[in-house]
Structure 1
Amino acid sequence: MIKSNIAVKLFLSLLLIVPLIGSAGQVNAEDDITGHPMEEQIRALISQDIMKGYDDGSFGAYDKISRVQFASLISRSLNLEPDTTQNFSDMPSDEETINRIQGAAGAGIITGYQDGTFRPYQQISREHMAVMLKRALDYLQVDAERATLRFADNDLINKDYLEHVSVNVYYKIINGKTINNQQYFAPKEASTRGQAAKVIYELLNTIKAETEPVPDEEDPEKPGTPEEPEEPEEPAKPEARYGIGSFTAAGEMFVEREYATYNEALSAYKGSSGKYLTFGESVIKMNTGIALTVPSPTSSLTNVYNESMTSAWTYVVNDTELRYLDADQDKVKVQVGNKIGYVKHSNVKLIPFSVLEDRSSYSVNASGELVHRVYMNSRDSAASYIAGPAPDSLVQGQTYYSWDGATFYDANGRQVAEGYQYFQHLPARSTTNYTAEEIDQYIIDELKRLEERNPNSTVYKDAYKRSKLVGLGKHLKKVEKEEGVNALMILALAQHESAYGMSERAQTYNNLFGLRVYDDNPANDYFETVQDNVDELLNEFWNKNYIPPTGPHANGAAFGHKGYGFNVKYASDPYWGSKAAGHMYRIDKALGGKDLKNAEQIGITTTTGLNIRTAPELTDQTKLFTYPKTDMPVIIKGEATGASDIPWVKIISDVGVNKEAYVSGHYVKVLPIVK
C-alpha cells in the first residue's frame, strides 16, 4: 500500500482528474496503432498527453525506445518536478528533456553510471526498464510485493535487478513470454515504444489499485478511489496445428484447412498451387521469399547451422533478411552471404515475396556509386550507405537486389551483374599506398568535414581536436610494416566502430574497435592509449584468431560478409564487412584513389583442404599451410612455372609478414573487381 506524503498526495490528486486509464478515445483505422497488441494502452497514454506520435502522424510502436525516452515517460506520467541539482555529463541539449531527466533523477528513479553519465540514447533493456518502474513505486512509497521468479532464463537477469523484476512480475507490470511451453523474461532484449506504453499503463493502474484512500484535510469524510473490478481471464488459445493457407488481399494469413500431422499438411501443400504450409498462423514452408530473423527470449541473435543442426557456423542480428530456399518440419534452409545454412523455425518469420511491402535493395547514385539501402522490417524504416563503385551494367534509377553484395538481380529475379567490391575482399596482408602524413591529414580534414556537416551536433564539436583518431597515422604505418596488416583497413574499422573516434567508448576507454563488446553482453575494456588498443586488435584478435588459416575464427583474411571473411565471426551485423569496406573506399577516394587505381588482383579459393606452398612444387618440403575451408580471398602476384604441368599462381601468404607463396591455379577464381 502507499504511505501518505506530500508528493504522493499531489500525484494522486492529479491522477483523479485525468481520464480513466483504459479510455482509448477515437480509433483511426488508418494509423499505425490500430491492430497493435498494445493499442489500448497506447491510446490511453496518448489521450493523457503522456505519449505522443511523430510529426508525420505515425506513432512507431515497434521503434526501439532509449533510456532518456523511457525516463521521460515516467517523469511525465508522475508529473515529476525537475531537481536542478541533478545533472549528468551527457545531458541532452533541449530544455524539456533536461527537465524530465532531472525530475526522474530527483525522485531516485534514475541514478546514472559511476562515470557521471546517463547514456541517454542507449536502448533500454527489459531489466533496466524494470529497475526504473520499481523505483517509481518506491518513490510513491508502495509497500511492494514480490513474486517468485520461475523463468527459464532467470540466470540471465542481473542479480542486482532480481528484486526489481520480481516486483514488476507480481503486479503484472512486465510479464514474461511463453515459448515452447516455457516462460522467459528476456532481460537483455531491447524494448519498443509499444511495450513502454504497456508498462507505463500497468504502472499507473498498479498505483491506483494499491492506493489507500487519502483523506482530504478540509473534508476528511471524502471517500477514496474505489477499487476497479478484476478483468476476467482470457480464454486459453487453441493448440496450434499444421495447415494449408493463403494470404488475403490485405496481406493477412488465412488458414483454409488444418491437419493433425505435419506429413498430412505437407502432402496437401505439395498438391496445391499458390498455397503455404502453416503452423498456427505462421508460414513454415513456401516457394520463394525471405526468412526474416526474429529474436528469441534469451538472445537477439539467430544462429546459422550446418544441415544436421549440430554446429552453428555464423550468426546474425534480428531483422536480417535471409534468402529462403526450402524448409522441413525442423529447420529452414537459407542463403547467408554466398553460403547455404539452416536456421530454426523459431528464429525466423517466413514472408513470401508476394506480400512483402518493402525489402533491402541496391541502387546507383549520380556519382556512379553503389548505394545499399538496408530496410528494417520491424520498424518500417531504412538506412543507406555507399558500398563502393557500382558495376557498369547497373544503371541509375533502377532498383536491384543481392544476397552477397556481388551478384545482382532485377525485380524479376534475373541476374544482371556480378561485381566485387575491392576493399571488402582485399586481404589484410596488403599495403596501402598512403604515408602516415597523408593519413593524418585525411583524419583532420574528415573530422572538420563532419563538424561542418553537423553544425548542431555536440558529438562532433571540435572533433579535429578531440577525436581519438588524431595523430594515429604513424602508428598505423608502423604496425602495417611490422604486423603485416593494411593501415587503411585498421583506420576504416576504427571509423566504423567508434564514430570517427568520438564515441563514448572511444573517448572514455580508448577502445576504437568495440573489443570485447558483444550484443548480449556489453563490456568496456580500458586501454591506456589508442595505440595499445590497435596493438590489442592485431595481437589478440586479427593476427591470432582471424588471419592465420588455423585460427579459431579463420574464414578468410578480408572484411568479407557472412559467407566468408572476418564478418562470419566478427560481428552479428550481416553488412558489417560491407560497411567497414565502404569506409575504406571513402578514405581512398578522399586521398586521391591511389589504392583502387593500383588495385591488387584478388582471387578466391574454390575447394577445401587446399595446400599453400613455399615453391611451385608438389613435395612435402614445400607445404607451408593448408586452407581447411573454401572461399579464402588471396592476393595474386602473378603466374609461376613449376616442375609439373600445374598452372601455379604466386600469392601473398596469410602466414608471416610480406611473404610470397604458391597455389595451384586450378583452385583459384579471379574475382571481377569493380573500379
Structure 2
Amino acid sequence: MKRFRSTAKLAAILSAALLLITLVVPATQASADELTGRTLEKELREMISKDILTGYTDGTYRPEENVSRAQFAAFVARALKLPEANGSFNDVPKNSKLAKDIYRVQSAGLMNGYSGGIFKPDAPITREQVSITMTNVLNYSEMVLQETRIDFTDLNEFQSSGSVRSAYYSIRYGIIKGIPNKDGSMRFEPKTNATREQAAAFISRFLKAVEAYEPPSLPEIPDTPEQPTPPEDPVKPDPPKPQPPAMDQDYYVATIENGQLKKQSKGYTKYLQAVDVFNSSSKYTAMYRGDELIRVSRGMAFGDKKSPAGAVENTIIYYDPEFKKQATYVQQGRELKYLGSNDKYVKVQVGATEGYAKHSEVDLIPIELVINRDHYTVSQWGTLTHVTYNYMTKKSASYYVQLAPDFLKNNGTYHSPDGVHFYETNGNFAGTFLPYFQFLSARSKTSYTGKELDALILNVLKEREQKYGGTYTDASKKSKLLGLGSNFKKLEDDYQVNALMILSLAVHEGDYGMSKTAQTCNNLFGLYKYDSLTKLCPDKGTFKNPGDSAVALVKDFLNPNYMDPTNALGRAQGAAFGNKTTGFNVNYASDPTWGAKAGAHMYNLDKAAGGKDYGLYKQFALTKLEIPTNVRTAPSTSAPVLYTYTARNNGVYKDTSNGLPLGYPLTVIRSVKGDDGNTWYEVFSDKATAKTGYISADVVTIINN
C-alpha cells in the first residue's frame, strides 16, 4: 500500500480539480426538455458549465446516447488538463476534433489502442471499460487504490478479475455505482455501454473524490532497535571489531525548502528529543545526526559504503540490527527499499529480504526529492522492461526481462524490489510472477544440441557485429564463444548444469566473449576477478583456452558452492539465477539484478534459437522454510533422504496471502501420488549425484507458469 504522494503532482491534480470546480465557463444552454428532470441533471449541468461535456452543432447534448471511446477520452483529458501529446493511430484522422484529446490520454497511460495501431474512436465504451480507465485515472492522480466489494449478481460477465477490482476501486471513491435488482441485490452490467450522462457523472464524482482525498499516513518505526534472537548459523561470523565510544552529537530535524533539505537551527543532544519534534509535525521530512542524514519520513535508500581510502565497497545487509549475521550485499549506488530507521540502523528491503544496514553504508533520500529510480514498463509488444538507476553515477540502464504477465498493462509503470512482487506507482499491489529463466533449475537440460548452440552463437555474434559494431567489430571471428556450444553441452551431461544457462552466463559475464578478460585471459565468466585485484589476468583467472574457464565455472564454483544444498559454507541458496533472497544471486553477485539479467540473456538466446526451452516446464515450486525440508529418492516419507534444505529467513513474504515466500526454487517435472495417497512432486535435484528427487506437496508453494 502506498503511504505517500508526490507533493508536486498532488498540487497539480488538486489545482486542476479546484479550477474545474470553481471556474464557470460560458456554454450553450441545453434544452430544458433535454436535461430537466433527469436523475443526473446536476452532474450534466456541472460538466457542461466546466466545458468538459460539450454539445453537438445543433445545440443538443444527447444525454442518453452511448458515449464513444473518443468522447470519453476527451472528457478525461479536459478534466485532468492533460498536457499536449502526439500520436498516430491509423483510424484517428489528424484533423479530427478529438484527436488531440485521444493522444493526451494515451500519452498519460490512461487509455490505450488496439493491435494494428488503431484506437476505435467511434466504438462505444462499456461500463467495465470505463471502470478500468478510471483505475488508470486514480493511479495517475496518485490516489491509493482501495476496494469496496459488492457481491454483484453478474460477476461472471466481467472479462477478468482485474476488471472486477477496477469496478471495486471506482465504487470505493463513489465514481461508479451498482444497479439494484428487484430482490435488493446489486448488479453492475459490465458489458452495457455507458451513456454520455453517465460519463459526465463519473468525471464529476472523480473530481469531488480528488478534492476530498487525504493520503494515508506512514506508521512509525520503533525508535529503539529491535532485539530478536538471530538464528543459529553453522558458520560463526568474525566477532565485530571494537568501536570507539560514541560521542554525543547534536540531532537536527529538517524540512524541504526550494527543492532542498534545510536543517533547523536548533539541535538536540538526545535522539529521542529530536524524535519528539520530528513526529510533532508533518512538515519535518528528515533528521540529521551532525551532517549525516539518518532518518526520513518517507523515501529511498541506496548503498554508499566507502573504504577509508575512498574505494567503492559493497553495502552489507544483516538479518539482525546488531549486525552479527549477514544476509546479503549490494553494490554501491543501487536502490534499497527504505522501511525506516533510527539512530542505530537503517531497515531496508533488498530482494524480498528485510534486513538492517549501518548508517555508514547507506544514504537516504526523502521521497519528495527522488527524481529517478528503478522501475518496470511494458512495451506495446508486451515485453517487460526493467530500468535500473544508480544513485551514485546518476546513470540509468535497461534490459528486457521477458513477456510481461497479464496483470502488468501496456505503457504502465511498476516498481518491484525483488522482480517477483510488482506494485503500481501508487504503491498498490499488482501481482506476482516468476520470470521463467530466472527461476528455472540449473539442473534442467536444454532442448538444443551442441551443433544448434554453435549455430546460435555464430548467428548472435553476427547480429551484434552488424547492429552495434564498436566492441563487437569482427565478433563473429574473434569472440571466445565461437565453437563452444558442443563443449557446453558436454558439461551439461557431465556436471548436470544446463548448457544454455552456461552460455547465458558467458554472454552476461564475458560480453559475448568480447570482454578484455575473455579476450586476454580466456576467462569467459570473470572467475577469480575480485574487485580488490588490479591485475587484468590473475593467476587463477587465466586459462589455456576459454573452454577451461567453463569447466572451472561448473566444477569449482556452481556445483560445489552455489548449487549443492549440503555445502558447509551455506552459500547454496537454490539452483537458479534467482534474486537477492533465493538462488545464486544471494551470494554470487553484488548487482541485485544480476540474476534477472542472466535470465533475460537466456530468454533472448532461446528466442533467437527458436524458443524451444521457454515454458517447457509448467510449474515451479518454492519451499516453505520455517523448518528443514527433505527431498527424497522416491515419493514416500519412508524413502531415503536425498538432501535437506535447511531452514532460513524467508524474507518479507512469509505469509502466502501477502505474496510468495521465496524459499528454495525448484522446477517441477511431474506430480505423482505417494504411497500415503498424498501428492508429491518430482523435481530436478539440486545435488548433482542424482538427476531428480521427490518433495511432498505440503512443504512447497506451487507457481504455474
TM-score range, shorter chain: 0.5 to 0.7
2:637 to 596, 599, 618: 618
The CA deviation at 1:375 is 1.3
Instruction: Give a deviation string over 1:71-94, Cα, whole Å, max 9, x none.
Output: xxxxxxxxxxxxxxxxxxxxxxxx
Provide the rounded CA distance (Å) in 1 between the counterparts of 2:699 and 2:402: 27
> Paired residue for 1:365?
379
Provide the rounded CA distance (Å) in 2 between the counterparts of 1:414 and 1:256: 38
Q: Relative to 1, partners in 2 of residues 1:274 and 1:556: Cα closer, same or farther, differing over 3 Å? A: farther
1:578 to 596, 599, 605: 596
2:564 to 534, 544, 548: 548
Provide the rounded CA distance (Å) in 2 between the counterparts of 1:274 and 1:593: 54
Instruction: Give a deviation string over 1:19-48, Cα, whole Å, max 9, x none.
Output: xxxxxxxxxxxxxxxxxxxxxxxxxxxxxx
SS, match of residue 301 in structure 2: strand
The CA deviation at 1:274 is 4.6
SS, match of residue 613 in structure 2: helix
> Paired residue for 1:249?
258
Matched, 1:530 2:561: no
Matches within 5 A, 1:413-432: 413-432=427-446
Provide the rounded CA distance (Å) in 2 between the counterparts of 1:522 and 1:487: 31
Q: Relative to 1, partners in 2 of residues 1:448 and 1:487: Cα closer, same or farther, differing over 3 Å? A: same
1:290 to 300, 315, 324: 300
Matches within 5 A, 1:117-132: none
Matches within 5 A, 1:398-413: 398-413=412-427
Matches within 5 A, 1:300-319: 300-307=313-320, 308-319=322-333
User: Is contact 1:604-1:669 (8 Å) kept?
Assistant: yes
Q: Relative to 1, partners in 2 of residues 1:460 and 1:645: Cα closer, same or farther, differing over 3 Å? A: same
Deviates more, 1:537-546 or 1:366-375: 366-375
Q: Relative to 1, partners in 2 of residues 1:579 and 1:522: Cα closer, same or farther, differing over 3 Å? A: farther
Q: CA RMSD in A?
A: 2.1
SS, match of residue 464 in structure 2: helix
1:539 to 555, 558, 561: 555
> Paired residue for 1:262?
271
Matched residue count: 436
The CA deviation at 1:616 is 2.4
Provide the rounded CA distance (Å) in 2 between the counterparts of 1:274 and 1:615: 62
Code of the aligned partner of 2:250: R
Matches within 5 A, 1:324-473: 324-455=338-469, 457=470, 459-473=471-485
The CA deviation at 1:361 is 0.8
The CA deviation at 1:667 is 1.8
Using structure 2 for the length normalisation, give the TM-score: 0.59
Code of the aligned partner of 1:521: L
Matches within 5 A, 1:215-230: none
SS, match of residue 502 in structure 2: helix
Q: Relative to 1, partners in 2 of residues 1:496 and 1:352: Cα closer, same or farther, differing over 3 Å? A: same
Code of the aligned partner of 1:544: P
The CA deviation at 1:645 is 5.4
SS, match of residue 595 in structure 1: coil
The CA deviation at 1:510 is 0.6
User: Is contact 1:606-1:668 (8 Å) kept?
Assistant: yes
Instruction: Give a deviation string over 1:299-342, Cα, whole Å, max 9, x none.
Output: 52111112131022211110011001122221111111011111
Code of the aligned partner of 2:252: G
Provide the rounded CA distance (Å) in 2 between the counterparts of 1:297 and 1:318: 12
User: Is contact 1:248-1:254 (8 Å) kept?
Assistant: no
Q: Relative to 1, partners in 2 of residues 1:255 and 1:520: Cα closer, same or farther, differing over 3 Å? A: farther
User: Is contact 2:302-2:333 (8 Å) kept?
Assistant: yes
> Paired residue for 1:226?
none
Using structure 1 for the length normalisation, give the TM-score: 0.62
Structure 1: runs of 5+ lacking an equivalent: 1-179, 183-237
SS, match of residue 420 in structure 1: coil
> Paired residue for 2:518?
506
Provide the rounded CA distance (Å) in 2 between the counterparts of 1:576 and 1:290: 21
The CA deviation at 1:655 is 1.4
SS, match of residue 259 in structure 1: coil
Provide the rounded CA distance (Å) in 1 between the counterparts of 2:521 and 2:480: 10
> Paired residue for 1:667?
699
Deviates more, 1:553-562 or 1:247-256: 247-256
The CA deviation at 1:522 is 4.8
Provide the rounded CA distance (Å) in 1 between the counterparts of 2:378 and 2:407: 10
Code of the aligned partner of 2:517: R
Instruction: Give a deviation string over 1:267-322, Cα, whole Å, max 9, x none.
Output: 33344435233212443223432111113225521111121310222111100110
The CA deviation at 1:500 is 0.5
The CA deviation at 1:240 is 4.7
User: Is contact 2:617-2:669 (8 Å) kept?
Assistant: no
2:624 to 570, 593, 606: 606
Provide the rounded CA distance (Å) in 2 between the counterparts of 1:264 and 1:517: 48
User: Is contact 1:484-1:658 (8 Å) kept?
Assistant: no
The CA deviation at 1:446 is 0.9
> Paired residue for 2:61?
none
> Paired residue for 2:658?
none
The CA deviation at 1:672 is 4.6
User: Is contact 1:418-1:672 (8 Å) kept?
Assistant: no
Code of the aligned partner of 2:307: P
SS, match of residue 508 in structure 2: helix
The CA deviation at 1:656 is 2.7
Q: Relative to 1, partners in 2 of residues 1:379 and 1:181: Cα closer, same or farther, differing over 3 Å? A: farther
Q: Relative to 1, partners in 2 of residues 1:344 and 1:388: Cα closer, same or farther, differing over 3 Å? A: same
Code of the aligned partner of 2:293: V
The CA deviation at 1:357 is 1.2
Code of the aligned partner of 1:532: D
SS, match of residue 687 in structure 2: coil
Matched, 1:487 2:505: no
Q: Relative to 1, partners in 2 of residues 1:543 and 1:600: Cα closer, same or farther, differing over 3 Å? A: farther
Provide the rounded CA distance (Å) in 2 between the counterparts of 1:638 and 1:255: 64
Code of the aligned partner of 1:302: T
Structure 2: runs of 5+ lacking an equivalent: 1-242, 651-662
Provide the rounded CA distance (Å) in 2 between the counterparts of 1:517 and 1:411: 38
User: Is contact 1:300-1:520 (8 Å) kept?
Assistant: no
Provide the rounded CA distance (Å) in 2 between the counterparts of 1:257 and 1:355: 23
Instruction: Give a deviation string over 1:623-655, Cα, whole Å, max 9, x none.
Output: 221101451011112222223354322222111
User: Is contact 2:443-2:691 (8 Å) kept?
Assistant: no
Provide the rounded CA distance (Å) in 1 between the counterparts of 2:261 and 2:704: 43
Matches within 5 A, 1:268-283: 268-275=277-284, 276-283=286-293
User: Is contact 1:373-1:385 (8 Å) kept?
Assistant: yes
User: Is contact 2:332-2:392 (8 Å) kept?
Assistant: no
Matched, 1:567 2:585: yes
SS, match of residue 400 in structure 1: strand
The CA deviation at 1:382 is 0.9
Code of the aligned partner of 2:351: G
SS, match of residue 472 in structure 2: coil
> Paired residue for 1:637?
669
Deviates more, 1:380-389 or 1:640-649: 640-649
Provide the rounded CA distance (Å) in 2 between the counterparts of 1:274 and 1:414: 25
User: Is contact 2:383-2:401 (8 Å) kept?
Assistant: yes
Instruction: Give a deviation string over 1:205-262, Cα, whole Å, max 9, x none.
Output: xxxxxxxxxxxxxxxxxxxxxxxxxxxxxxxxx9852122222132223336421111
User: Is contact 2:374-2:388 (8 Å) kept?
Assistant: yes
SS, match of residue 267 in structure 2: strand
